[in-house]
Amino acid sequence: AQSVTQLGSHVSVSEGALVLLRCNYSSSVPPYLFWYVQYPNQGLQLLLKYTTGATLVKGINGFEAEFKKSETSFHLTKPSAHMSDAAEYFCAVSEVDNDMRFGAGTRLTVKP
């Protein structure tokens, strides 16, 4: 089955600094890739997704991710972190049958 590895269970950045959250996937077929965010005491919501077409995908709140097939990666970035970005971020992969698997999550802390 497809799987996801998120490197770094906890990432801490200063406000205004670059955010980089790493995600590598394993899939036997072209994957569909997602990033979800879970703010404190809230449910999971979709940040962005890649299905087909342009490999650089833009999402909400200034986040973007790039699908790199050669590296089997889908890292999430944001040029300048805000305090409100503090949350847990989950990378997910699904294949054609919609079975979606998540990584272990990365907790982002933003320091003032």
Contact 30, 93 (CB under 8 A): no
Using CB under 8 A, list all residues that contact another protein: 1, 6, 9, 32, 34, 36, 43-46, 49, 51-52, 90, 92, 94-105
| Structure-block tokens of residue 73 | 């990666």
Cβ 6 to another protein shortest distance, Å: 8
Residue type (1 letter), 62? G
Nearer to another protein, 103 or 110 (CB): 103
Given the complex with another protein, which of 15 and 59 has the nearer CB atom? 59
The C-alpha R_g of the chain, in whole angstroms, comes to: 13
